[in-house]
Amino acid sequence: MKMPLILVLVMFAAGSAAAQSCPPPPDHAAQLDRLIEDIAVAEDEGAAQQISNQMWELWADAPDAAAQAILDRGMSKRAGWDLLGARAEFDRLVEYCPDYAEGYNQRAFVNFLAQNYAAALVDLDLALERSPRHVAAMSGKALSLLALGRVGEARDVLQEALALNPWLPERGLAAPGGPLEPPGDDI
């Protein structure tokens, strides 16, 4: 018996979609915990930057080669200020790997650069649901909240991020005179 062509195509497409499912993201929790401990006692900004780079290596470790290729393409497009192209790649990444935090974080960064701070916040919250100690996503959330004029929330999020990485470049925002300076004790 011959199958209709449309049925063959539907079965092929279903099989291809199943073969293209994203595996779970790598579990780097123990390494990230160690790096957070290390950065808290870093001797200087140079040492802290090396540790921060190692954190980025963990966050940017995609679940498989296909996801890594999409992430890398998106980051390359973003670096070249092709924000629409980068957004399309990160849309593809979060669709393919909905449990991978960095897809949302990178899409949030593109939205932030495009000054779409509300959209950035949505993706940052999704990234932080998946990776609660993603210091870069926390810092991006603080910057997005600040851009939206939500200063108190921005201050709180930045303080959480600084508790994990006191060397964040955004730490100056919370310094005396900075827009996110903690309120003083008014006694």
In a domain, 92, yes or no: yes
Whether 4 maps to a domain, the answer reads no
In a domain, 89, yes or no: yes
Of all residues in the chain, the percent with pLDDT exceeding 90 is 81
Please give the residue that has the higher pLDDT: either 18 or 64. Answer: 64
Residue among 84, 85, 86, 104 nearest 94 (CA): 104
Q: Is a pLDDT exceeding 90 seen at residue 13?
A: no
Of 12-16, 85-89, 122-126, give the lowest mean pLDDT range. 12-16
pTM of the model: 0.86
Query: What is the structure's pLDDT at 19?
Result: 43
Residue 70, domain extent: 63-116
pLDDT at residue 181, as a whole number = 83
Mean pLDDT score, 7-11: 40
Domain contains 3: no
- Token pair listed for 62: 């995609």
In a domain, 183, yes or no: no
pLDDT at 187: 45
Domain assignment of residue 100, yes or no: yes
Mean pLDDT (whole number) for 126-154? 97
Number of domains the chain is built from: 1
Average pLDDT, the chain: 90
Q: Is residue 105 part of a domain?
A: yes
